[in-house]
Structure 1
């Protein structure tokens, strides 16, 4: 059964009642499986007031008490992973094993922040006179507004929750209306873990209207967003107009460079499998493949085998390896990429078509594309892989760095010198050499250029939620 959906404001779960609702659909079938209540202006005002009131107490709650709550969230997430995952598969579409993996690994994020939150330290600064004492303290920025996407609905939301709450901030979060069950489940986890009322509030609504209302509120002091580059720029501009700091985790168009001295079969297998994770709807998904001409034929043989053999189907089917796209807009976008590729002389080597029912699209490989084709310029965010040749590594790096994206990059080589060159020259927030690096909670996740600013995870995880105060006294 799909879970009942609600708002969560000031410690209370609020059903639809007389509110407007939005249908939630199963992307495998297109059928309606739930109704999501949308927040009224009064609901948003109540959430703002609750977060402001709760901040006065939560900021002064001892770090070890905040830590205990986050630890309990991690325990509950593991206990409830199967039920939460099933609902994620129903409204987002990814295979059940992927959904459960998302929930279980995210319990680590709660535990990491539980521990790091106990280590938010200031420092003593030696003074130039013996009678002066000067030091810094780090304090929570205040009430935060966060906006999270549908591709990893549990992962993206919990990252922002544990960072804000672990730092001593309170939070209003608007999750994805198309895949809301994970965020409602998270509210239940924090509620049952004993989080005080008002520290976390969950609202739903028209994205542009809710984001503007929250960001423009003088109560909100910090904005965090994960999503597309165009929307991220709009929200950053809006926040900037009110001098509010932002954390932006935006899109990517990740290059993957395969040198001729690499383990070619391994590179092809690893890249193909990661490419089709969550049907390619991953911001760090490899999405531009540059393969050395000497290795091209061998790479393509292994890569196509992996892409063609993947089992596509409903996420609840245990045999499914790739589920549907999350919504019909993504299906239309995939078709647009395919049509543009054909118009630029690209060869559709495999795939290229949508299914008759549901929001499925075949794993697709395109070759012989010029660099100005849409698929080489714009993030596809789906199961389409363009593969092109290169003969000179410097040229491949230049092409990889030619776009304004800078989230993640991948390279495969057997040479230590080349690996160092690639690590030093690829312009990206994250560079992975000879494997797909795991994004664990101790890793600083984030991009550069149009792919965003700030980091989630790692030692940097609280930086965006704290302000530094300098104190001097005689």
Structure 2
């Protein structure tokens, strides 16, 4: 398996543009803290060029017959799967997650291109019966226009894939701005699309100073649609910028996922699988379970299972086959974990497992379990985007729901119970866009992915995923 890091480029107008003559940013292997590459940062001229070729290619691409669009996307999916081991190795080098998780992510990214390849063939309209004779009334759905898509570093394959596959299937041209900390994965997707026959200029991939790139692209009248995955504060900022141009925006933002575990549940299953869910991706997962609310009669049993499973996790370089938890992505995340734990302990919380950064190279932080955390601790309000889990008891269903819904986030939530009535009541009462009952696996290509409240609006994936890239046109003809 190749473990060297590939050169990085901008991709504009079908051309791979090197860093020559441009500022660059370091790409660091978070397992070692050492630089492995330099990513070129787009100039204002690069962004203007990207906008112009995106504008010019849109008309051609939207008029490309759906069957041809579908075949290109399907071929790209096949190429991604063929190249999955190499793409996954690059992802682990730049982002840090265990190689098995990287390989699974690349596979699921390919599935999105397969799914939306078929969706391209199903963009239909309707005939509306008229109240007047001799009148033909049609509702047509067509591509909304050029798209600016912004994705983060933590899922560098699947997050761009969700956006690109749906937008391209709809007939939109796209400028993608991935995270600079994990750039090679998005470029691998672009290369697969290019090799699959995507017309030149339909997709651009640019990197740069995030605030400068987003303000430049969103302000352009060429861009008709914005989509963003990332933090709540940046989502607010981009939403305001999009509103200035009256542009629709899809936002998939942060969360603080509650888990309600009732006394009648399979406690060991809820705990052991909860550990796997919480610490997957080193906890840098927006839909991860973070607050475990356990009915008091089952609390101690859950704590025992959860702590034991946490302490058994193997931490290390994601390229090592035995690693279950890799490093945090960057020093900022490491410092944030130290701050959250120190704040909680200072205010009275108990550390049941972990709680410290590992000495030596890389950005490693122990999988951490906190109990007796007071409500004024930061971790009870801020998304712990890292390997921290909070355990707390509750008494009645209403108490659990009140705590689960207390925060302004509403991305994911989970519940474990053997009572069908409880399951129905909890699912109805939880304020979240995605809910898992007796399981933590809530993501699939055929399902909508998105939240409510301050966790964003709009869904990606499933039949809902393509709708945001389409506009409705009504035609009345005599």
Aligned pairs (5 A) from 1:75-94: 75-94=78-97
Q: CA deviation at 1:94?
A: 0.2
**Residue 448 in 1 paired to residue 464 in 2?**
no
Alignment partner, residue 398 of structure 2: 394
Task: State the distance in 2 between where 1:439 and 1:49 align.
Answer: 36
Once the two structures are superposed, what CA deviation does each residue of 1:415-461 show, in whole Å capped at 9, x if it has no partner?
Answer: 00100000100000011100013411110000001000111011111
Aligned pairs (5 A) from 1:457-472: 457-472=461-476
Aligned pairs (5 A) from 1:398-417: 398-417=402-421
Task: State the distance in 1 between where 2:22 and 2:281 align.
Answer: 32
Alignment partner, residue 427 of structure 1: 431
Find the residue that maps to 2:475 and give its secondary structure: strand
Aligned pairs (5 A) from 1:150-299: 150-299=153-302
Alignment partner, residue 129 of structure 1: 132
The 10-residue stretch of structure 1 (207-216 or 99-108) with the greater mean CA deviation from structure 2: 99-108
Task: State the distance in 1 between where 2:62 and 2:193 align.
Answer: 17
Alignment partner, residue 102 of structure 2: 99
Aligned pairs (5 A) from 1:318-397: 318-356=321-359, 357-397=361-401
Q: Which segments of structure 1 move beyond 4 Å, counting only runs of 4 or more?
A: none
Task: State the distance in 2 between where 1:461 and 1:146 align.
Answer: 14
Task: State the distance in 1 between where 2:263 and 2:347 align.
Answer: 27
Task: State the distance in 2 between where 1:89 and 1:253 align.
Answer: 25
Given that residues 40 and 207 in structure 2 are in contact (C-alpha distance below 8 angstroms), is that contact kept between their aligned partners in structure 1?
A: yes
Cα RMSD, aligned residues only: 0.7
Aligned pairs (5 A) from 1:55-70: 55-70=58-73
**Residue 117 in 1 paired to residue 124 in 2?**
no
Q: CA deviation at 1:139?
A: 1.0
**Residue 46 in 1 paired to residue 52 in 2?**
no
Task: State the distance in 2 between where 1:374 and 1:408 align.
Answer: 20
Q: CA deviation at 1:254?
A: 0.5
Find the residue that maps to 1:220 and give its secondary structure: coil
Alignment partner, residue 436 of structure 1: 440
Aligned pairs, number:
474
Q: CA deviation at 1:372?
A: 3.0
Find the residue that maps to 2:264 and give its secondary structure: coil
Task: State the distance in 2 between where 1:340 and 1:125 align.
Answer: 61
Find the residue that maps to 2:292 and give its secondary structure: strand
Alignment partner, residue 146 of structure 2: 143
Q: CA deviation at 1:371?
A: 2.7
The 10-residue stretch of structure 1 (57-66 or 369-378) with the greater mean CA deviation from structure 2: 369-378
Task: State the distance in 2 between where 1:26 and 1:430 align.
Answer: 32
Task: State the distance in 2 between where 1:274 and 1:119 align.
Answer: 35
Task: State the distance in 1 between where 2:158 and 2:463 align.
Answer: 18
TM-score, scaled to structure 2: 0.98
Q: CA deviation at 1:179?
A: 0.7
Task: State the distance in 2 between where 1:23 and 1:410 align.
Answer: 38
Q: CA deviation at 1:370?
A: 2.2
Given that residues 416 and 438 in structure 2 are in contact (C-alpha distance below 8 angstroms), is that contact kept between their aligned partners in structure 1?
A: yes
Task: State the distance in 2 between where 1:37 and 1:261 align.
Answer: 55
Task: State the distance in 1 between where 2:216 and 2:98 align.
Answer: 35
Find the residue that maps to 1:295 and give its secondary structure: helix
**Residue 26 in 1 paired to residue 29 in 2?**
yes
Find the residue that maps to 1:311 and give its secondary structure: coil
Q: CA deviation at 1:340?
A: 1.1
Find the residue that maps to 2:224 and give its secondary structure: strand
Task: State the distance in 2 between where 1:416 and 1:183 align.
Answer: 42
Once the two structures are superposed, what CA deviation does each residue of 1:232-260 show, in whole Å capped at 9, x if it has no partner?
Answer: 00000110111000010000111001000
Task: State the distance in 1 between where 2:112 and 2:466 align.
Answer: 13
Given that residues 77 and 113 in structure 2 are in contact (C-alpha distance below 8 angstroms), is that contact kept between their aligned partners in structure 1?
A: yes
The 10-residue stretch of structure 1 (99-108 or 60-69) with the greater mean CA deviation from structure 2: 99-108
Once the two structures are superposed, what CA deviation does each residue of 1:164-206 show, in whole Å capped at 9, x if it has no partner?
Answer: 1110000001101011110111111111001000100000000
Q: CA deviation at 1:130?
A: 2.1
Q: Structure 1: state its 5+ residue gaps.
A: none
TM-score, scaled to structure 1: 0.99
